[in-house]
Structure 1
Amino acid sequence: MRHGRRQITWKGTALVVGAVAAGCTLVTYVPQDKFVVEMPFVVEGAVGETLDLTYAELTVTDVRIADTVTSFSEAAVAGGTFVVVDATWRATQGATIFTGAEITDSEGRLFWPSDQAECTSTVNAQPGYSWRATYCFDVPKAALAGATVRLARGDQKEEHAGQRRDAVAVIDLGISREEADELWEASETVTTEAPGYPAATTEGSEG
């Protein structure tokens, strides 16, 4: 179910620096084109919203916390706790590989996804079809409150070099400090599934 879409907004500030000294004005101009090249286009949203990234539509459908994730052939135990993010991609312009996935905590620390127990690290989707994926991030307790997940087709690399001049989704996971304490104390196991078509769209293209 779609709860509306968020359009691309550019997170950045044009730099025009002025200084006044001895009655004279000194203006230094940094070309905007150079700055834009280095910045991704950020689409912010929340769990349950469908975000329009131009090249794809993305919905984070659920967020779960687990000590252990299991699949048909494997089990993985978290060093801290797993933040399990269920998402649905729908490529809109052509076959697309989605390689960017990370959690950022309130202090700016980054956590990349595990590929254990059928957890997703890369999604390969055909245009016009929805594709389900489950990302599992092993994070410490301090990373839960205020965490966001960043998903994109460009990979992370250093300083998000693979996402420059491209759209990325940043979703607030909606975990408060009080909820983080409760979630940390709970003992849960999540059984993952290999990436595939969501049950509602197994018949094929959505048009």
Structure 2
Amino acid sequence: MQLVKRSYAGFMHALANLGPFEKLTHDAKHHDPYGWRRWSASLLAIHDIDRMIALGLPWWNVAATREAETFLHARTGARVFEYGAGASTVWLSQHAGEVISVEHHEEWHRRLRPAIQPFAHASLWHRALEGTAYIDAIMEAGGLFDLIVIDGRRRTECLTRAITRLKPDGMILFDDSGRRRYRRAIEQCGLSEHRHFGRSYCVPYPDFTSLLRD
């Protein structure tokens, strides 16, 4: 399966470097981020962090992303914690007042630092996955958060921690929420789930992102 995924990503990257598709990516930046042009361009950016950042997109379900943006814009200076850094960290930094993102992969952390550096209100932490340093990073950050994103490793444990650090009117964004190994934790977490299924950035098939609230 991993070989198939790598082959597919390599094929899309090769297409992205062809003239007509380069133009698609360039033009898509000026169109609705939730429209078909931007989504189509994101397919060419799968596993390409620079292209995703340039498109201004996180790797989530499209409808869930729109709802998350509306949520953040209704809260001046919204405070965000994110498990699992990526293009979403840049996107969050463009829409929130404070962002703390924790990443377990050291090389990926180094790769992302230059993209986060322009945002003085954003912090990118590296914490080892072993032990509790990664899942307890939200406790280390202190305080409560308007939005908590769970899109990294050990997601069910992260959800348990996140619930204790969520503001009363806050929201948890749980990506890839259709995966069987996450369903019980989500269904038993005590929060109301709005599970989005459909068009998602970077992939040609429909996928899940859930928004959890009281």
For Structure 1 versus Structure 2, the TM-score category normalised by the shorter chain is: under 0.3
Q: Which has the higher contact order (CA 8 A, sep 6+)?
A: 1
The answer to which structure has the higher strand fraction is: 1
TM-score for the superposition, normalised by structure 2: 0.23
Task: Kindly name which structure, 1 or 2, has the bigger radius of gyration based on alpha carbons.
Answer: 1
TM-score (norm. length: structure 1) = 0.24
